[in-house]
Each structure stands twice: as C-alpha cells, then as structure tokens.
Amino acid sequence: MEQNQDTKTNGYDTNIVYDFKEYPDKVSGRCDNCGSTEFKSSVSHGVFLRECKKCGMKKSI
C-alpha cells in the first residue's frame, strides 16, 4: 500500500502486528498511526486482526 505524502503518521512500523493488550487505542476507534476510522478486519486461526485502510497499521484484538 502506497502512503500519501500529505498523511501525517506517528511513526509506527506498519509491517508489525501490534497486540491490542499492549497497545490499546489512544483514541477509541481511531488508528494510532494516522487517526483514520476506516479499518479492514479479518479472523484467522481464532485471531481477530484489524488493519487501517489508510496507513496499513495492524492490531490483533
């Protein structure tokens, strides 16, 4: 996913899947990296994964 140059981020590595227990949302329902509220979600092997549509940051919930 190509990141828009105008998008401000907080420097999270989007290649890592962050654990929600260790990194809860700073603002509930918003991406910690870019502040977006749009997510793709999937379930695999009993793990719910949430991925930001704007920057690609992932969290296992």
Q: Residues 16-37: what's their mean pLDDT?
A: 96
Residue 7 has what pLDDT? Answer: 59
pLDDT tens-digit readout, 27-55: 999 999 999 999 999 998 999 999 999 99
pTM listed for this prediction: 0.81
12 lies in a domain? no
Range of the domain at 49: 17-60
1 lies in a domain? no
Start-to-end Cα distance in the chain = 22
Number of domains in the chain: 1
Which has more confidence, 16 or 6?
16
Q: Measured between alpha carbons, how far is 39 from 45 in angstroms, rounded to an integer?
A: 19
Residue 8 has what pLDDT? Answer: 73
Residue 58 has what pLDDT? Answer: 97
